[in-house]
Amino acid sequence: MVSIAKDKKVILFDGVCNLCNNFVTKVIRFDKKNTFLFAAIQSKSGQEILAYLNIDTTKTDSIILYEPGVSYEIKSIAALKIMSNFEGLWKLTQIGWVFPELFRNYIYDFIAKNRYHWFGKKDNCMIPTLEIKAKFLD
């Protein structure tokens, strides 16, 4: 299994999804505390973490927030927990917690199901630039 520092959280994402890549770029920009690392679910590290957590991505089409030794979250809970780490207008996203998880995940699933159609998809996973390469597991 890939080695992850204890003070880091890993965001597993769909590396060919334009929406997901845009989200990762925003997280990197607003991650002032340097909390997050990233792995595409298609990458070797992503696959190792998914196997370790026993997550079947054919059954859950979601970003995954993995906090080693603590827990992992999917769908709306993962998104809200990620965004809770940011300042400014990002704090407004926390209003999402007032809605029932079933409702939030319905909206999440609807967007996830249509993301390639609406936002497009790449042929290959994003290749991080030298400036952000250290934030990716592979």
The per-residue pLDDT for 132 is: 85
Question: What is the per-residue pLDDT across 4-39, written as a single tens digit (0 to 9) for each?
Answer: 888 999 999 998 899 998 999 999 999 999 999 999
Q: In a structure prediction context, what are the per-residue pLDDT tens digits for the chain, which is 138 residues long?
A: 678 888 999 999 998 899 998 999 999 999 999 999 999 999 999 999 999 999 988 888 899 999 998 899 999 999 999 999 999 888 999 999 999 999 999 999 999 999 999 999 887 777 777 778 889 998
pLDDT at 2: 78
Contacts with 91 (C-beta within 8 Å, 6 or more apart), sequence order:
none
Task: Region of 46 please: left (phi>0), alpha (psi -120 to 50) or beta.
Answer: alpha
CA distance 5 to 90: 26
Amino acid at 91: K
